[in-house]
Amino acid sequence: DAHRLWDAAFGLGPSRHAHLGHADAELIPAGVPWAEAEPVQVSALLRSRGRTERMGRTGRVRDVRAVRAERRARAERERAELEAAWAALATTGPVRLSQLGELDHGTFGRLLDLLGRALAERPDATGLRRAVTSDGRVEIVLQDPQDGAVAVLRTPEGWFRGPDHLIDVRSLGTGAARYDRRRAEGA
């Protein structure tokens, strides 16, 4: 009630012109006080009726079917690239990094992600480091090289040199549920 009484007594309402600005706001430095800045034109209709002078038909609703189709196609391409990368990295048992040979850029990026995840984990009692992708579909088991060997991997962008880890990359299935179950079992 006090707010309504205040509004009735003083005729003050919310500012309806705060969204207006100078035509080229970059010409006025941010530190200039409003009293010294160039005035902004406020429509008389805005003052009396609360609306701007721009009245007209509502804009047409944009047809987004083409955008959706393009996004769907891009998601399918990305999924296919991801599946191809995992297939290229899948091993049938422990292999040395140096045995992977030349990798395309996308597959190499996935490998670096897996290696980073594995190296961030602490070794278990057997000296193995285990990590899983964020979607829980692929697991890497990594063992540090005992002989100090160095791996050299080739990509179209260049060479990668690093410890010749023994890795085992395997598919866990189609989702994180299987990963959660394995973590609960302490695998």
Report the distance separating Cα 166 and Cα 85, nearest Å. Answer: 19
Range of the domain at 145: 65-185
CA–CA distance from 54 to each of 25, 49, 50, 147 (Å)? 21, 13, 12, 76
Average pLDDT of the residues in 32-40: 80
Residue 173 lies in a domain: yes
Q: Is there a single domain that holds both residue 70 and residue 151? A: yes
Looking at residue 39, what is its pLDDT? 78
Which residues have C-beta within 8 Å of that of residue 144, sequence separation ≥ 6?
A: 123, 127, 163, 165
CA dihedral 171, 177, 183, 187 (to 10 degrees): -40
* Least confident stretch, 27-31, 68-72, 85-89: 27-31
Looking at residue 27, what is its pLDDT? 77
Q: Is there a single domain that holds both residue 32 and residue 76? A: no
Residue 28 lies in a domain: yes
Looking at residue 64, what is its pLDDT? 87
Q: 178 and 136 in contact (C-beta within 8 Å)?
A: yes
Looking at residue 29, what is its pLDDT? 79
Q: Is there a single domain that holds both residue 178 and residue 144? A: yes
Q: Is there a single domain that holds both residue 41 and residue 75? A: no
Residue in this structure with the two tokens 């048992």, named with its chain if needed? 93
Residue 92 lies in a domain: yes
Q: Is there a single domain that holds both residue 36 and residue 71? A: no
Q: In the predicted model, is pLDDT for residue 28 greater than 90? A: no
% pLDDT > 90, the chain: 32
Average pLDDT of the residues in 164-176: 80
Residue 55 lies in a domain: no
Looking at residue 178, what is its pLDDT? 43
Q: In the predicted model, is pLDDT for residue 141 greater than 90? A: yes
Query: Taking each helix axis from N to C terminus, what angle separates 105-120 and 65-89, rounded to the nearest 10 degrees?
Result: 70
CB atoms within 10 A of CB 187: 10
pTM of the full structure:
0.56
42-68 tens-digit pLDDT: 777 665 655 555 566 777 878 889 999
Q: 133 and 117 in contact (C-beta within 8 Å)?
A: yes
Total number of domains constituting the chain: 2
Q: Is there a single domain that holds both residue 74 and residue 161? A: yes
Looking at residue 177, what is its pLDDT? 45
Looking at residue 148, what is its pLDDT? 85
Strands 128-132 and 138-143: antiparallel
